[in-house]
Structure 1
Amino acid sequence: MITDKDLEILYYITQKKYRGILDGEPDPMSLENMNKEIHLEEVLLKSSLNDLITTIVKVFKNKYANPLPIWTGIVDYEIKTKKENSKRKDIKEIQSEFKGGVETDFGGNTEYLDNLFMEFQTPSQVFKDIVKNNLQGKTFTENEQNNKTTFVISNSSISKIEVTPSTFHLFINKSSFIDYGQ
């Protein structure tokens, strides 16, 4: 099971004085943070699919989380072909789209996670309930059409989630981006 303690690393903001090579000092938390990220990647890889979906909704529901430890935990990326493959056997296809156009704390442009799509090996009717249960506390609408349920969320870094028995598609509000200094 994935704990809140496992997820704390997704909200760690690197102090500005340690970003890049500004004064030559590394962030004193860098080794500890790297170990926490590796631990989270291992937990995400071994967790149940239900726990993975729960975690993704949970970490983005209230504010934008640093998506990189999640991405590196479940995605095997081929640099030459720019193809993403799932590290998990229960995910048939995975695609994450990072888009530019958000500003870093230093005024430069960077990318944010715009959306994440997963297609599962085995369909299940529980994915819709997992999303709905984990959106509790937020205002959202739910619309079902042709076996696809769309949740539109207010006041969240998640703009909407589309779920079917075999797919999960998360969309992020661009304006919710937080520069974690990674």
Structure 2
Amino acid sequence: MITEKDLDVLYYITPIKYRTMLDGDFDSNAQENLEKEEKLEELLYKSSLNELIATIIKVFKKKYANPMPVWSSIVEYERNTKKENSKREDIKNLKFDFKYGVKKIFGGDTEYLDNLFLEFTVPFSGLKTIVKNALRGKQFTETTHNGKTVFTIDDSPILKIEITDTTFQMFIDKNSCKSPKKLDNL
């Protein structure tokens, strides 16, 4: 079972004093955070499909999180072809769509997770219930048309979630990925 404590590492922001490595100090939390990320990756990889989907939604529903441990837990990446393959037998196809466009503290354009797509190997009849339960505490609208259900979420980094009986796609609000204003002035 994946707990809220297991997910805390996804929201860790390295303090500014550790972000320049030329003459800077080493973040004392770095090794501990790496171990927590590896543990979370293992938990996500071994989790049921129900728990995986629910956790992905919970991770992003309140604030933008570091998506890399989620990506690493289920994606086998072929560097030469830049192809993503699923590590899991219950996911046939997947795509984590990272895009540039978020300015960070030291300038520069960095990537954020724009959307992720999962296609299941078999139809997943309980997906709508899982999405609704994971979105508890958020206001959302639900519409269904031609076998596709769309959840549009208010006041969340998740703009919308689209599901069918064999697919799950989550779209992220780019503005939720930006640095807090108090850090931009440093």
Whether these two folds match at TM > 0.5 is yes
Judged with a 3 Å threshold, the aligned counterparts in structure 2 of structure 1 residues 178 and 51 are, in CA distance, closer, same or farther, namely farther
Distance 2:123 2:37 in 1: 30
Q: Which runs of 5+ in 2 are unaligned?
A: 181-186
2:75 alignment counterpart: 75
In the other structure, the counterpart of 2:12 is 12
Aligned residues: 180
Equivalent residue number for residue 151 of structure 1: 151
Q: Distance in 2 between matches of 1:168 and 1:82?
A: 22
Matches of 1:119 and 1:46, distance apart in 2: 18
User: Who is 2:128 aligned against?
Assistant: 128
Deviation sequence 1:31-60 (CA, Å, 0-9, x none): 101100100000000000000000000010
Q: Distance in 2 between matches of 1:28 and 1:79?
A: 31
Deviation larger for 167-176 or 15-24: 15-24
**DSSP-derived class of the 2:107 partner:** coil
Q: State the distance in 2 between where 1:140 and 1:131 align.
A: 11
Q: Is the 8 A contact 1:63 1:176 kept in 2?
A: yes
Tell me the residue number matched to 1:161.
161
Q: Distance in 2 between matches of 1:22 and 1:71?
A: 29
Task: Give the structure, 1 or 2, with the largest relative contact order (CA under 8 Å, sep 6 or more).
Answer: 1
Whole-Å Cα distance in 2 between the matches of residues 42 and 148 of structure 1? 31
Give how far 1:20 is off: 4.0
* Structure 1 counterpart of 2:183: none
CA contact (8 A) 1:13 1:179 kept: no
Whole-angstrom CA distance in 1 between matches of 2:13 and 2:2: 21
Q: Matched residues in 1 for 2:72 and 2:107: separation?
A: 26
Q: Where do residues 12-51 of structure 1 align in structure 2 (5 Å cutoff)?
A: 12-51=12-51
Instruction: Indicate the larger mover: 124-133 or 38-47.
Output: 124-133
Q: In angstroms, what is the RMSD of aligned CA positions?
A: 1.3
Give me the identity figure in percent: 59
Is the CA contact 1:150–1:161 (under 8 Å) kept in the aligned structure 2? yes
Matches within 5 A, 1:99-138: 99-138=99-138
Q: Which residue does 1:61 correspond to in 2?
A: 61
Between the aligned partners of 2:130 and 2:23, the Cα distance in structure 1 is 46
Alpha-carbon shift at residue 24 of structure 1 (Å): 3.5
What is the aligned partner in structure 1 of residue 184 from structure 2? none
How far does residue 84 in structure 1 lie from its aligned partner after superposition? 0.3
| 1:58-86 Cα distance to aligned partner (Å, 9 max, x none) | 01001101101111111111111110001
Corresponding letter in the other structure for 1:145: H
Tell me if structure 1 keeps the 8 A contact 2:102–2:178.
Answer: no
Rounded to whole Å, the distance in 1 between the matches of 2:122 and 2:177 is: 33
TM-score of the two chains, using structure 1 as the length reference: 0.95
CA deviation map 1:83-130 (0-9, x unaligned): 000111110001010010101121221010000000011212111111
Q: One-letter code of the match for 2:38?
A: I
Counterpart code for 2:111: E
